[in-house]
Amino acid sequence: AQTVTQSQPEMSVQEAETVTLSCTYDTSENNYYLFWYKQPPSRQMILVIRQEAYKQQNATENRFSVNFQKAAKSFSLKISDSQLGDTAMYFCAFMKLDAGNMLTFGGGTRLMVKP
Amino acid sequence: ETGVTQTPRHLVMGMTNKKSLKCEQHLGHNAMYWYKQSAKKPLELMFVYSLEERVENNSVPSRFSPECPNSSHLFLHLHTLQPEDSALYLCASSQDPAGSSYNSPLHFGNGTRLTVT
């Protein structure tokens, strides 16, 4: 079975600064997918960024980027130029290859962006 | 975007009540999901429906009964719940009903906050 661990229950960052959220996972699979989801106060989970394990290049989506370290089973999320709208819960998730959308989620990190 | 709509937004029920949660997706997707989000636990997958057939039942107690009458609607029927069932119940949908869904990510609703008294 897979497990996903987010070791930072809460974090804060000043507006316009950069913050990194940590995620580690445990799996015996060689090919898989990793995701970061954001859950703002509206409660809707929104996909932020995704990474294929067989790709060495780190994924980027505008101000969001990941640092994927396969050997270390680490998948951190970096948010640059933080905005007030980035305030939310952030969840890291793992999915085996061809597992449909059966994701294993971490416990989440609450991020507060301060003005 | 209101591609996935869940009702009601909040629900308070007693342990002897019977209620239903409703989810509707307007995205033309073929798969629908129920997730449970408890206060101190990671999101847990409860049920998966692919093309209106249940493909996953993740060891969920029988007091939770899903129903998928068509690819756009998903229900979660609740009866004789326990206080520990209080949680946020999230519905999601995706285009790809099976196999790799990397290019067919989940679209979530806003959830139903359930309180069992």
Instruction: Report whether pLDDT(B97) > 70.
Output: no
Q: Which A-chain residues 28-87 have CB contacts (< 8 A) with chain B?
A: 33, 35, 42-47, 50, 52
| Closest by Cβ to A100, choosing from B40, B42, B48 | B48
| B92 residue type, one letter | A
Nearest CA in chain A to B2: A44
Q: What is the pLDDT of residue B98?
A: 55
Percentages (nearest 5) of helix, strand, coil residues in chain B: 5, 55, 40
Read off the pLDDT of residues B26-81 as tens digits, 9 standing for 90 and up. 999 989 999 999 987 889 999 989 877 887 777 899 999 999 999 899 999 999 99
Name the residue with tokens 């989970």: A45
Q: What is the pLDDT of residue A89?
A: 96
Triad A14, A20, A23: Cα angle to 5°: 145
| B111 residue type, one letter | G
Q: Residue A50's beta-bridge partner residues?
A: A35
Token readout for B72 is 């756009």
Query: What number of other Cβ atoms are within 10 A of residue B3's Cβ?
Result: 15
Residue by residue, DSSP assigns A16-55 as TS-EEE--EEE-S-SSEEEEEEEE-TT---EEEEEEETT-
Cα distances (Å, whole numbers) of residue A83 to A19, B22, B62: 11, 34, 44
Q: How many CA atoms lie within 13 A of A104 on its CB side?
A: 18
Read off the pLDDT of residues A29-46 as tens digits, 9 standing for 90 and up. 988 999 999 999 989 899
Read off the pLDDT of residues A78-114 as tens digits, 9 standing for 90 and up. 999 999 999 999 999 998 877 667 889 999 999 999 9
Q: What is the pLDDT of residue B59?
A: 83
Contact residues, chain B, for A100 at CB < 8 Å:
31, 48, 50, 55-56, 94, 96-99, 101
Instruction: Report whether pLDDT(B99) > 90.
Output: no
Q: How many CB pairs under 8 A join A and B?
A: 66
Q: B95 pLDDT band (50/70/90 cuts)? A: confident
Q: Which helix (H) or strand (E) holds A79?
A: strand A74-79
